[in-house]
Amino acid sequence: MSDSEGPGDGRRPVFAVERRKRILELVRANGSLSLRQLAEAVQASEVTVRRDVRSLEADGLLNRHHGGASLPGELSREPTYLQKAQVGAAEKAAIADLAAALVEDGDAIVIGPGTTTLALAQRLTNHAELAVVTNSLLVAQALAGSPRVEVTVTGGTLRGPIQALIGSDAERALAGLRVRRTFISGNGLTAERGLSTPNMQVASTDRALAAAAEEVVVLADHTKIGVDTMVQTVPAEEIGHLVTEEAAPREELDELSGRGVRLHVARL
């Protein structure tokens, strides 16, 4: 068989050079991805994609890790808000719709930074007597015009790429708080390590966001499930709920469920 893989219905097969170009595009857009996610995206087998990733790694274009692929240095590289906003808008909207059902009038909640948590905040504008604590400037802005939502913004040092306040001042503002739920995102989520992010300061603040709540709710689309980044924030055993969508790898979801995480899977 030639180094191509495609459907047997007369359509032109996808040759290796085209497939590898697409794999590079996907990883550049999404950050670290699992082999399964890449295989689904390029409509090839995992065996074929593994061979492609090895070839791209030999050329210095990708790194292989934990059954997936990332750009060189990706485990410690933090995508910007604008980069993340361009990926999976429909999936994030579906996740936000489902997560909004976990918020009731009169709740006190924490919302962390991220494009999916921002989408959640945009769905909470009509709630009554809702108290929201956030370190995200974008979340605060989304709720600023809601007369019956009280928004408290932590102090801290502005981290421009994610438009969020982090560091010791942010952590002090969160210390001693006790809210019903924290809604948080990240850059990767696995059953083995839980939620993770590439930046140590962001991770420390994310841990403080999680510690402020009775329950932690993680919002993560399929591009983050099964992906590891450098710094662990919340172990899987401390995650109460995961809100994701139907493209998330089933095996990883089953493992998370086995560790006590309640799954909420949005249908697109």
What is the pTM assigned to this prediction? 0.73
One-letter amino acid at 51 equals R
Please identify, among 45, 75, 105, the residue that sits at the C-terminal boundary of a domain. 75
Q: In this structure, what CATH number is given to the domain that contains residue 206?
A: 3.40.50.1360
Say whether both 98 and 152 belong to one domain.
yes
Say whether both 102 and 210 belong to one domain.
yes
End-to-end CA distance of the chain: 36
Say whether both 101 and 201 belong to one domain.
yes
Say whether both 15 and 136 belong to one domain.
no
CB 68 within 8 A of CB 26: no
CB atoms < 10 A from the CB of 136, how many? Answer: 24
Instruction: Please give the pLDDT value at position 61.
Output: 85
Domain that holds residue 64: 4-75
Instruction: Please give the pLDDT value at position 76.
Output: 45
Instruction: Please give the pLDDT value at position 7.
Output: 43
CA distance 118 to 120: 5
Instruction: Please give the pLDDT value at position 66.
Output: 63
Instruction: Please give the pLDDT value at position 250.
Output: 92
Give 84's contacts (C-beta < 8 A, 6+ positions apart).
114, 115
**Contacts made by residues 21-30, CB under 8 angstroms, sequence distance 24+:** 23/49, 23/52, 23/53, 23/56, 23/62, 23/69, 24/56, 24/61, 24/62, 27/62, 27/69, 27/70, 27/71, 27/74, 28/71, 29/83, 29/86, 29/87, 30/87, 30/223
Say whether both 50 and 121 belong to one domain.
no
Say whether both 97 and 125 belong to one domain.
yes
Say whether both 178 and 259 belong to one domain.
yes
CA distance 18 to 43: 12
Number of domains in the chain: 2
Q: In this structure, what CATH number is given to the domain that contains residue 43?
A: 1.10.10.10
- Average pLDDT for consecutive 10-residue bins of the chain (268 residues)? 44 71 79 80 89 87 77 57 59 96 98 96 97 98 96 95 94 95 94 91 95 97 85 96 94 96 95
Say whether both 38 and 126 belong to one domain.
no
Please identify, among 41, 75, 109, the residue that sits at the C-terminal boundary of a domain. 75
Say whether both 35 and 129 belong to one domain.
no
Say whether both 34 and 89 belong to one domain.
no
Please identify, among 59, 75, 91, the residue that sits at the C-terminal boundary of a domain. 75
Instruction: Please give the pLDDT value at position 2.
Output: 44
Say whether both 54 and 118 belong to one domain.
no
